[in-house]
Structure 1
Amino acid sequence: MIVIPKVNTELLIEEIKTTGHSPLKFICDDGSTYYCKYLVDYSPLEINCLAYEIIAHYLLNQLNIPTPSIALVEISKGTLDKSKIKANRRLEEGFICFGSKSVEPSTEISEFEVCTTKRDYKSIVNPEDIVKIALFDLWINNVDRGKFINPGFNYNLLSVSHIKGREIMAFDHAFIFGGVNQIGVFNPLMGVERQDKLLQSEFYKSCIQYMNYDDFVKIVDNFIPLLQVSHQVVIESVIGQLTDIWNLSHNLSQRIQDYLHDETRINQVKEAVMANHNYF
């Protein structure tokens, strides 16, 4: 059974300005730094997005795709300095946030970053995971990675420095299952949405151009069966731990299972990635 870690805040460093949840950067009582999210919109349905983050984390773990560690973060008394806060005014002491653990040393993949040479590509120690993340985002309908934001793309990918190169790591999954606009309505009949996805981005295309085609096909063929395996235990375990702290939408666990385990959608995921590869 999955047990979601829990930590408490000790010191607020800053609020990070973003177009989404504007996470608060806290040092917590386990000695680590977390980027913490709570409600920033007026709609209480937005709380589902915090559950999405945790579901995505454990699915990524099952699929062996690198992603930062997470925790449920309780706002301890005396640690919420509201003079540093603009977007998170609804947050109060005692509330529980979603927290993504800081990964060091790392940088975000920028909207302008591409592989311009084979050497750039070879600096990535896990290029196969870029393909897997593209497949994952189609399967789970992540509308916030690969989204075009003038002048570039929003990637929500970390480049983590290692001795032998850099590891690509996926983070920020609040807007899966169609994001805020599809809370309570997403279902398998919607099929796979191909717009605003990683596989259309310049970074993805620039990496895949240097990948051997047979290796690419092998990655896809080996990954698709992992989506077909039941993830019921993970989904039910996570949602079961969250229902007592957040007011989630009715029957969320079953709707997620129905959405992710639909065979037609899974086949469409494979078709979309393979068809996209033929364009370049």
Structure 2
Amino acid sequence: MQLLHTIEDVHKVFDTQGSSPLLVTCNDFRDWVCKYDRFPKYLFNELIASEFAKIWGIKTPETCLINVKREHIPNEKFPQLQIGWFEKQCFGSLYLETSKELDHTMVSMFQEKSFRNKISDKTDFLKIALFDIWTANEDRNHNNFNLLLSVSPDNMSFFYAIDHVNIFNMSFLDYGITDLTEDESIIKTDIAKILFGKDRKLTDIVNNLVEMLYICTKECENKLDDILDLVPDSWNIDKVLIKKRIIDNLFSDDWKNQCESNFREFIQSFVAN
């Protein structure tokens, strides 16, 4: 994973309920959304979830590590930022200028067939939902999609998954792992119903995604050591401990079977009916 550094002052602080990331420009002359050491374990969650998502074929913004230089944190403009938060590498995801964050105001657009026809790989929506069930991501739901709709040069749209700080039931697997509730899944949304409620291939889509669950989680397990090697020592993560927790929880057969069961149940309850 590339390590970049800022070349000018922080542009803005995104006003979010959680990590309040920054918009910065780095030495590759591109803009990045930067999350910092306000919640150290959240940086780990972002990194490992993005690497797992790549294995699943889920679209996420390009990622990197970022050194935010002290002189680029203007205290008079952003007094809420503490210098100590930036003594370690930050986690960066590429800022996608042509994207729009999904919210309830866009439901009416999805109801238009011409708009839906421009969505490429719409099954990515359900793939992300299944990924969330597996990683126990409690923060992507009907109130907070944490999805970007990115438009390509040929005007096709793609779903991008963002913000994974709340995987592992927001607990860093301190207490094991528990099922998502129906209200913690984007399957229980109007958009899921609009996209798939009348799809005659829904059964095949679900079966293919379930098959992918078992294939991709095995590949994630095989690559876990390589992914953990990407975690900077400055984050002070006990890699031996978290590796054991991930193997015992995410990669257990019982958990994967339970994820399949929950996924099918949510689809049946909120999409098929």
Fold conserved between structures, TM > 0.5:
yes
Supply the distance in 1 between the matched residues of 2:22 and 2:206 (Cα, whole angstroms): 40
Q: Give the partner amino acid of 2:7.
A: E
TM-score norm. by structure 1 comes to 0.86
Deviation at 1:197, TM superposition (A): 1.5
The alignment status of 1:232 with 2:189, answered yes or no, reads no
SS at match of 2:12: strand
The alignment status of 1:18 with 2:8, answered yes or no, reads no
TM-score norm. by structure 2 comes to 0.88
Q: Give the partner amino acid of 1:257.
A: I
Matching residue of 1:43 = none
Matching residue of 2:6 = 9
Gapped regions of structure 2 (runs ≥ 5): none
Supply the distance in 2 between the matched residues of 1:215 and 1:200 (Cα, whole angstroms): 20
Match of residue 79, structure 1, among 44, 63, 72 = 72
The 8 Å contact of residues 70 and 100 in structure 1, kept in 2 or not, is answered as yes
The alignment status of 1:119 with 2:108, answered yes or no, reads no
Count of paired positions: 264
Q: Give the partner amino acid of 1:172.
A: D
Higher relative helix content: 2
Match of residue 171, structure 1, among 159, 162, 165 = 162
Match of residue 92, structure 2, among 99, 105, 111 = 99
Supply the distance in 2 between the matched residues of 1:93 and 1:78 (Cα, whole angstroms): 11
Higher relative strand content: 1
Supply the distance in 2 between the matched residues of 1:92 and 1:48 (Cα, whole angstroms): 13
SS at match of 1:39: coil
SS at match of 2:24: strand
Matching residue of 2:27 = 29
Supply the distance in 2 between the matched residues of 1:27 and 1:143 (Cα, whole angstroms): 30
Matching residue of 2:193 = 205
- Alignment of structure 1 residues 183-198 onto 2, 5 Å: 183-188=172-177, 190-191=178-179, 193-198=181-186
SS at match of 2:15: coil
The 8 Å contact of residues 125 and 165 in structure 1, kept in 2 or not, is answered as yes
Deviation at 1:139, TM superposition (A): 0.2
SS at match of 1:124: coil
**C-alpha RMSD of the superposition:** 2.1
Q: Give the partner amino acid of 1:211.
A: D
Deviation at 1:80, TM superposition (A): 1.3
Gapped regions of structure 1 (runs ≥ 5): 41-45
Supply the distance in 1 between the matched residues of 2:192 and 2:27 (Cα, whole angstroms): 37
Supply the distance in 1 between the matched residues of 2:217 and 2:15 (Cα, whole angstroms): 38
Cα distance change on mapping 1:88 and 1:219 into 2, 3 Å: farther
Supply the distance in 1 between the matched residues of 2:219 and 2:181 (Cα, whole angstroms): 22
